[in-house]
Amino acid sequence: MNGIIHFETFLLTGILLNLTPGNDTVFILSRSIGQGRKAGIVSALGIGTGSIVHTILAAFGLSLIIAKSILLFNIIKYAGAAYLLYIGYKMLTDKSQLNTDDVSVENKTDYWKIYRDAILTNILNPKVALFFIAFLPQFIDPTLKNTVSPFLTLGATFIATGTAWCLILAIFASAIFARLKNNKKASSYINKICGLSLIGLGIKVAVTDQK
């Protein structure tokens, strides 16, 4: 199959990995809970877009540069950590109510910014790049000379299943907390919890190594 081996195993493993909570899950849940369903959906799509970039980089071997260069790895890592800390701080200090897609507050939400944040947090996580160059090659025929096509196929499959799961998470998370939309006190607490979660995520990325 287009130079791909053990596709069924790849599909099952990929789904299981997508179901495992990680950095992207925390980011999407924070946005869904703090800013509503649409924000969560946009975040999921942004994470998927970032993964497309990583797939392309891995397919053409550019991710190997990140894997082999400690300097480049650290630059990307600390840039990603700083960005997460910034987003977390903004949510932590945000005094507005939760956005659960009420018309009155929906228009105030910058969905393009949320989408951009999701893309950048994914792209600026060097662990994602390392994952793609470590995981995908295991399911590509080692005798194959041109691995770009199977890399892209496997990457697209992994991203499709992952994005589907992230969309489910976003929808359910926002639904659970929709009842808090008119509770100003709860809104304040939820925003702070989401902000702290992203700050913790930024710290986690900062202490990540190449191993």
Binned at pLDDT 50, 70 and 90, residue 191 comes out as low
pTM for the full predicted model: 0.74
> E strand or H helix at 153, and its extent?
helix 148-177
CA neighbor of 42 nearest in space, from 53, 30, 54: 30
Residue type, 190: I
Q: Which pLDDT score, from 0 to 100, does residue 182 have?
A: 56
For residue range 32-84, what is the model confidence (pLDDT) as tens digits?
887 888 989 999 999 999 999 988 888 887 666 666 667 777 777 787 778 77
Judged by average pLDDT, the poorest of 14-23, 68-77, 82-91 is: 68-77
Q: Which pLDDT score, from 0 to 100, does residue 180 have?
A: 60
4-10 long-range contacts, CB within 8 A, separation 24+:
4/139, 4/140, 4/141, 4/150, 4/153, 4/154, 5/139, 5/140, 5/141, 6/139, 7/139, 9/139, 10/138, 10/139, 10/154, 10/157
Give the start-to-end residue ranges of the domains of the chain: 7-206
**76 Cβ contact partners less than 8 Å away, ≥ 6 residues apart:** 66, 124, 125, 126, 129
pLDDT at 119 over 50: yes
For residue range 125-143, what is the model confidence (pLDDT) as tens digits?
877 887 887 788 888 887 8
For residue range 31-45, what is the model confidence (pLDDT) as tens digits?
888 788 898 999 999
CA terminus-to-terminus distance, the chain: 32
For residue range 150-165, what is the model confidence (pLDDT) as tens digits?
889 999 999 999 999 9
